Chain A
Amino acid sequence: MRHLINILDLTVPEIDALIRRADDIMARPEDYWDACAHKILATLFFEPSTRTRLSFESAMLSLGGQVLGFSEAASSSAAKGESVADTLAVVSGYADIIAMRHPKEGAPIVGASHSLVPVINAGDGGHYHPTQTLTDLLTIHHVKGSFNGLTIGLCGDLKFGRTVHSLIGAMSRYENIRFVLVSPEELKLPSFVKQEYIKDRGIEYIQSQDLESVLGDLDILYMTRVQRERFFSEEEYLRLRDSYILTPEKLKLARPDLAILHPLPRVNEISTEVDRDPRAVYFRQAHYGKFIRMALILMLLEEAAK
């Protein structure tokens, strides 16, 4: 049984196929209205994430399927102490495919090993969130037409931001990629991520603490939240925060064809005035998330039917 736990479970050709499928869905949504008729998606959210859950449910409904599930552990059997293994063993008898989110790292591996149907990891703590990375990839591909030859800036919390690690892992498999890593010293990319995905693959990269000095080089700018609780002191946070806030003023330094991405929700790292800039694609990015999830649901159901 094929599941999706980590973005790197998918090969480059598989990701290409998912993107082609998502593009086709966007171009001809009516062709897919009944693609999942009489199929059921269970959304098992042991930890609330309204945005991700709605995206999955909208995806399944747009394919003509049905959805059931729970949106937090308190309203599920988990509150009575049922294990992940038992929950999945039971629920997988009620659905054709499962999207599961859980606060503990590795929980979807346990879930998948007890499930009768494909399991999609919809986030396991701060560990993996492959459908976010697929969303990021579809957005980049849609805006740029290809993955090759791009200079990708990643800005903010590169240490704890796992969406950043997954995106680097996925993008490092394409040709002529350059990474520009912009963060305060305290939130630099962990060395094991840098080693495995960048250095070992001979990829060119620049590390900087100053967004303005590198902004003009970028094709893609992936912004992330710089969270207060990551800092030792309030002064330090306030001092550093401002250098990683994107404003129309700073954007004057950027190329006209830059694409600004953000996994959302944003707090203040992108000023709302930037929203009107055509280079801001983060809201469209959230919408793309639904289409790539549709493509993924179709792919896993097709594989399961084999």
Chain B
Amino acid sequence: MTQRYDAVVIGAGIVGAACARECAQAGMRTAIIEQGTIGGGATAAGMGHIVVMDDSPAQLALTRYSQLLWSDLASQLPPSAEYETCGTLWVAADEEEMAEVLRKQELYRSAGVPVEVLDQAQLREAEPNLRPGLAGALLIQSDAVLYPSAAALHLLNQAIEQGADLCAGAHVLHCGNGSLQLSDGTTFAADRIINAAGALAGALTPGLQIRKRKGHLVITDRYPGFVRHQLVELGYLKSAHSVSGDSVAFNVQPRKTGQILIGSSRQYDEESPGIESRILTAMLDRVGQYMPGIAELSAIRSWTGFRAATPDKLPLIGPDERDPTLFLATGHEGLGITTSLATARLLADHFRGAAPAIPLDPYLPSRFAAEAAHA
């Protein structure tokens, strides 16, 4: 038996759930297919930092747009989503990084993001558990944190309330040219297929320029007030954006429960999900350099996850030019929690033929096809 839909979304991570919600809200007959747990992929592994990032103008536009969508949605989120506007402090270790703070300040200001520069004394007052002697920080007040899996479940429930069908427990074997075959024998016909399968998107749509980028995280027991903002070292810019090699960075997050989420690491070409003590030790050493007292806290769990990384650090959003029924919503690397809502809205606007709030061009999958043709 074949079921017919206007739109079928593959994957109920935070991106797929957001897409199903937008499609259903736009009045499309929508289904969403998830092989495992709702929000159980990269979404369950992620830190849940809603962060405006300025690596490129297109990244700044997308993250800012999406952060604003989250703050609009915040009042409707259930308590389990643990949404909190704690702000981000980009920590500068020395004067050289302080110069970077001033450069970033201008960029954020030009995008209309409220910012504040903290000097050495103000940073100490804001975060007494950071080691003394750090040069200062850039405070982005509007950044937030949330619990990604609970947020994904909420988005999915909203999609279902709007009439979307959830097909859980089966995986998509093949998709394309308006049809999908599932492992349980069902077939779907769809005007639009949205591949939101995260780091696994390439298994369904060959030729995508996505590499897995592994990350480790650790969570502590509850220590309310020990950390007050999401703290990220500015040196992170050097490590996170290098395209090759393993890297670790100081990145800690206060959870609403008082727990502290500790990150982060980045590794290409590591397929096994196991915890690697070499990476974990390097990560915790780095964290200890910024926050020595953290070594006294008790950690209760550690895990890993895979980001879906593209060569230019921007996601793939929009039509796949090889198949008029196929659309992509993947490749969000370390920002998919943040950019899920904007991704879904941009796609829905594209389907409706409505003018998007920000240009879609920088995220179109065809940018890589064009590159390949010129090479």
Q: Does A pair with B?
A: no
Please report B residues at the A interface, Cβ cutoff 8 Å. none
